[in-house]
Amino acid sequence: MIEQSTSTIYVIDDDESFRRSLVFLLESVGWPVSAFDSAEAFLACHPDPPDDMGCMVLDIRMPVMSGLALQQHLHRNGWPLCIVFITGHGDVQMAVQAMKAGCCDFLEKPFKDQALLDAVDQAVQQMHLARKEASLKAQAKALLDKLSPREDEVAKLVALDG
């Protein structure tokens, strides 16, 4: 189980009452939440990936920059992300586009509270696994970079044999 206090859920939705209800729901089960009324407001506060990002709960249809456009922007800039998309006006094509771009889940409004909580739990777990994998890869690369040319040659031969 993921430690909730170390993983902030970022909620981005232009509907103020809905955004407030999402914040209330997530905080009521112990998640730290940071909410924004637009993709632009989120990017203004977070030009770089926050260290505490658990996942994003993101409305697809918003004025100026849509949720899909934000997802594409973050992906292009190398952000590790797990997004739970929410929409009141979704269609199959939109859901497929979001999933192909790597979103963790896609919920249509209205949805049950437990469906959102389950989606957030799963997205945060995926985010932590991705971070752990990236850390292990970096550690392995650092160790391989320390090998002498002869040790590197032997390591490559052993890897080919296995």
* pLDDT higher than threshold 70 for residue 1: no
Confirm whether 155 is domain-assigned.
no
Q: How many residues can be counted in the chain? A: 162
pLDDT on residue 21 = 96
* pLDDT higher than threshold 80 for residue 4: no
Poorest-pLDDT segment among 17-26, 29-38, 146-155: 146-155
Confirm whether 151 is domain-assigned.
no
Instruction: Express each pLDDT in 113-151 by its tens digit.
Output: 999 999 999 999 988 887 787 778 878 888 888 888 888
CATH of the domain at 33: 3.40.50.2300
- From residue 43, alpha-carbon distances to 39, 50, 70, 76 in Å are 6, 11, 9, 14
pLDDT on residue 129 = 84
Poorest-pLDDT segment among 4-8, 114-118, 153-157: 4-8
Confirm whether 141 is domain-assigned.
no
Amino acid at 118: D
Confirm whether 160 is domain-assigned.
no
Average pLDDT, the chain: 87
Q: What range does the domain containing 10 cover?
A: 4-134
Over residues 147-160, the mean pLDDT reads 81
pLDDT on residue 3 = 55
pLDDT on residue 2 = 52
Confirm whether 146 is domain-assigned.
no
pLDDT on residue 89 = 80
DSSP 8-class letter at 104: S
- From residue 16, alpha-carbon distances to 58, 107, 117, 123 in Å are 13, 18, 20, 23
Confirm whether 140 is domain-assigned.
no
Total domains in the fold of the chain: 1
Q: Are 116 and 84 in contact (CB under 8 A)?
A: yes
Over residues 58-76, the mean pLDDT reads 91
Confirm whether 94 is domain-assigned.
yes
pLDDT on residue 128 = 82
